[in-house]
Amino acid sequence: MPDSSIDRELLIKKASELLRSGATMLAETCPICHSPLFKLKSGEIVCPIHGRVMLVKSEEEVSKASVESVLTELEKVIAIKLSGYINMLKSGREVDYEEIRNLISWLDALERIEKIKLVIRKSSEMAIQRKGKEQK
C-alpha cells in the first residue's frame, strides 16, 4: 500500500468527521489512495481524502460505469428535446397526433433509461454487500 503519499493525520481527522456525521465505514477501499471508503447517509460513497469516488472493481464494473454515463448524457439530450415540446404546447397552436406520439416516445425513453439505471445501481450495490459479507 503506498501509504507514504497520504497524510495519516488528515485521514484520521476526516474519517472521524465522517463517522460523526453518521457515515458508515465500508470494507471497500479508495482506488486512488486505498483509504477505507465511507457511505454517507445520502448513499454516496466517499473517500476521506478524495471525496466522492466511483467504485470500479472489474471490467464488468467499468462497462456498467460507462453505460451509466452514456445514459445520463442521453437523459440530458432528451430533456432538451422535451423542453421544446413545452414551448410548442404553450404556444397554443394545435398539436397533431404525430407530435403527441413523439412526445410519448421520448417520455417512454426516459422511463426506460431510469429503469436501466436502477438495475445497474442495484446490481453494483449487491456486489458491494456480497463483498462486505465475505470479509467478515
Using CB under 5 A, count the residues that bind Zn ion: 7
**What backbone torsions phi and psi does residue 55 show, to the nearest 5 degrees?**
-80, 115
**Residue 4 Cβ, how far from Zn ion at the closest point, in Å?**
14
Judge contact between 38 and 24, C-beta under 8 A: yes
What is the contact mask toward Zn ion in residues 15 to 54, using x (rule: CB under 5 A)?
---------------x-xx-x-----------x-xx----
**Residue 5 Cβ, how far from Zn ion at the closest point, in Å?**
10
**Residue 29 Cβ, how far from Zn ion at the closest point, in Å?**
8
CA 48 to chain centre: 18
- Rounded CA-CA distance 136/93 in Å is 64
* Cβ closest to Zn ion, residue 47 vs residue 124: 47
**Residue 1 Cβ, how far from Zn ion at the closest point, in Å?**
12
Q: Tell me how many degrees the CA angle 69-71-74 measures, rounded to the nearest 5.
A: 115
Dihedral angle, C-alpha 108, 110, 111, 117, nearest 10 °? 150
* Cβ closest to Zn ion, residue 7 vs residue 125: 7
* Cβ closest to Zn ion, residue 35 vs residue 124: 35
Which set of grid coordinates corresponds to residue 107? 417520455
Site of interaction with Zn ion (CB under 5 A): 30, 32-33, 35, 47, 49-50
